[in-house]
Chain A
Amino acid sequence: MTSLSIQNLSKTFPGNVHALKDFSLEIGEGELVAIVGPSGCGKSTLLRILAGLEEENTGTVRLGSRVLNGIPPKDRDIAVVFQSYTLMPHLSVADNLGFGLKLRGEKKSMREAKILEAAKLLNIEGLLQRYPSEISGGERQRVALGRAILREPKVFLFDEPLSSLDAQMRLQLRVEIQRLHQRLKVPMIFVTHDQSEALTLGDRVVVLNQGSIQQIATPEELYLRPANTFTASFIGSPGMNLFHGSLQTSAAGTHFASSALNFLLSAEQAEKLRDHAEIIAGIRPEHLHSVESGGKLSGKVTAVEKQAGQTGIYLQNDATSFSVKTITEPVTKVDETLKFDFSPREIVFFNTKGGFLLPIHNVGDK
């Protein structure tokens, strides 16, 4: 059992494109870390550097006590499952599974036994004699997964392996990867642009944007206490509603005032936010509940998005747009004006300089 340690990794591509800036991460034995971020945020570059397919500019990668910098991919003890299926079209499923074993000079009898074992593990033993063109996308990715398992690696890297599958297959394979993770107990890095994948799979999640780490946290923490406005709006579907406003003091106390949102802060909040004149308030769409009268927030409905079991309502108030998620059946129509209220404990604040979270209290604590 070994852990993976990444220290101060940086990578710049020609044209001064910073793909990765000072990336550091420790991944413990048997930990699955999901890396999530928008396209072009540097997540695939990170994986390619870890696999040895790309050379870093600075930084160190260690597997246990062994420094991996400069070691070719074949000697790294790292298996990669790629986004595309990466099966050799002229080889049968069995030969594809045994591709690496053959390269590494494993004896035929050993090879066959191992191939069968991996195939059984992934429920593809019936496909061994078929060719990649004769099996489905999900089955192909299972074969790729099997080949990675047969590598018997010390680290698994997944480069968006589910993104080319249909929704049902994606779910199935996600469970498969979780099972595998529990069984193999080696460090795994799962790169994805799909936050639901990252939040369900990762023991910890790294949010990456423009090559920089935005936050490393457990899925719960990431959701409830986003470190900055980027994470707040990136995580969640739709993301957190953000309101730019200022703090104003009156006889009643300190108010948060913006064009759309206006409310009185608690004494504790007012005390802690004392030094900030300009501030950003954030609240999750599901924490807004509709009220008949009063309410701290109102808006005109611009779109209603019905999903299974829940509804997303998109609203506009002056120049501010925000969204609401509700599990009750909506009776709302476009252009209707709705009012909303929320519990003060569910609001978070960010500063306007850099958009960092201002520590007030533990959100979600009751």
Chain B
Amino acid sequence: MLRFRKRLPLFSATLLLALLCWIFAFPFLWMFFASFKPDAAILIPFPMFPEHFDFSYYRDLLTGKWIPYPRQFLNSLFISAVETALATAFACSAGYVFAKFDFRFKKILFILAVLVVLIPRQVLVLPLFIWMNKLSLLDTPWSVILPGAASGIGILYFTAIFRRMPDALLDMARCEGANEYRVFFAALPLVKPAVIAFALIQFVLCWQDHLIPLVMLSTGSRLTVSIGLSSLNAGNTRVPYGLLLAGCTLTLLPTALFFALAYRHFRTALGRLTEA
């Protein structure tokens, strides 16, 4: 009896977590299995498992029958990768400077960075559109990449991260013969988990982004997957649900893969933030 009492909280916690897992996982599992089902079977959720696996929707997507899906997939990959790299590089170096150097107008510039976080993107979209138009970058990947490359929240995040790095380590590097650029690169490995965590979040946000690509891109072969897939469901087109679900499943793959690879670092970075 005593043993049971001791174990009861653990047992109930496990049960609760299992339930939560199921609630979160259900839509994904349904999406995955439904992508192999004909339209008639899709709206009935159970049995979840398809009678037989029909790969035709995947084939349609990958051969570009309805939309240039492979091309759009590559567009998304390119845009997300470059935007993530640029946003991480800018935010990381700006955060380092804000945390470790004193200079004129530092406070005002920092407040500006905070304001970028506070202003919703919907408000910025029109000025950005005009700007990109003036730069003749509309309907190119750069019209999506450049607005995303400056991340206000990234600057705040990295400023907090670098503030916790002891100055003595940087001074040591200076005394050992490093110029200011080398000092930054010597400090970088110390914040690796934070860099990876930020890159991961940035990549996922960019991959999912709908608003900016929708406004900036117009040609079918230049769209990102999220816009491409939603175009399937718009206007007069009537495509099987299974096709959309197959597209969604494929679209999930890169972020899931990236997350699996970087999860360890992500956890370390979050752990260190809560420690602080």
Contact = CB atoms under 8 A, between A and B. Distances in A.
Interface in B160-196: 166, 168-169, 171-179, 182, 186, 189-190, 192
Nearest to B179: A74
B190 A88 contact: yes
B62 to A, nearest CB: 42
B178 A86 contact: no
A153 B178 CA distance: 15
Contacts of A76: 175
B220 to A, nearest CB: 47
B169 A78 contact: no
A95 to B, nearest CB: 11
Contacts of B179: 72, 74
Interface stretch (A62-70, A97-105, A224-232): A97-105
B103 to A, nearest CB: 14
Q: In the complex, which of the residues A86, A99, A147 has the most CB atoms of chain B within 10 Å of its own CB atom?
A: A86
A53 B177 CA distance: 12
A99 B169 CA distance: 12
B186 A74 contact: no
A82 B168 contact: yes
Given A88-B186, A88-B190, A103 B176 contact: yes
A72 B192 CA distance: 28
Contacts of B175: 51-53, 73-74, 76, 78-80, 151
Nearest to A104: B177
A89 B178 CA distance: 18
B176 A100 contact: yes
Contacts of A104: 176-177
A290 interface: no
Interface in A316-354: none
A121 to B, nearest CB: 18
A83 interface: yes
A183 interface: no
Given A82-B168, A84-B168, A88-B169, A103 B178 contact: yes
A116 to B, nearest CB: 19
A90 B265 CA distance: 14
Contact of A100 (B166, B169, B177, B189): B177
A147 B176 contact: yes
Contacts of B182: 103
A185 B175 CA distance: 20
Contacts of A90: 189-190, 192
Contacts of A73: 171, 174-175
Nearest to A74: B177
Contact of A89 (B168, B177, B186, B190): B190
Q: In the complex, which of the residues B166, B171, B178, B186 has the most CB atoms of chain A within 10 Å of its own CB atom?
A: B171
B171 A74 contact: no
A72 B175 CA distance: 9
A88 B176 CA distance: 13
Given A88-B189, A90-B189, A103-B182, A53 B176 contact: no
A15 to B, nearest CB: 14
B176 A99 contact: yes
Contacts of B172: 80, 82, 86, 144
Nearest to B192: A90
Q: Which 8 A-B pairs have the closest CB atoms?
A: A100-B176, A86-B172, A73-B174, A74-B177, A103-B177, A104-B177, A80-B175, A82-B168
15 contacts: A52-B174, A52-B175, A53-B174, A74-B174, A74-B175, A78-B175, A80-B172, A82-B171, A88-B169, A88-B190, A99-B173, A100-B177, A104-B177, A144-B172, A151-B176
Given A78-B175, A103-B177, 14 more contacts: A52-B174, A52-B175, A53-B171, A53-B174, A74-B174, A74-B175, A80-B171, A80-B172, A83-B168, A86-B172, A100-B176, A103-B173, A103-B178, A104-B177
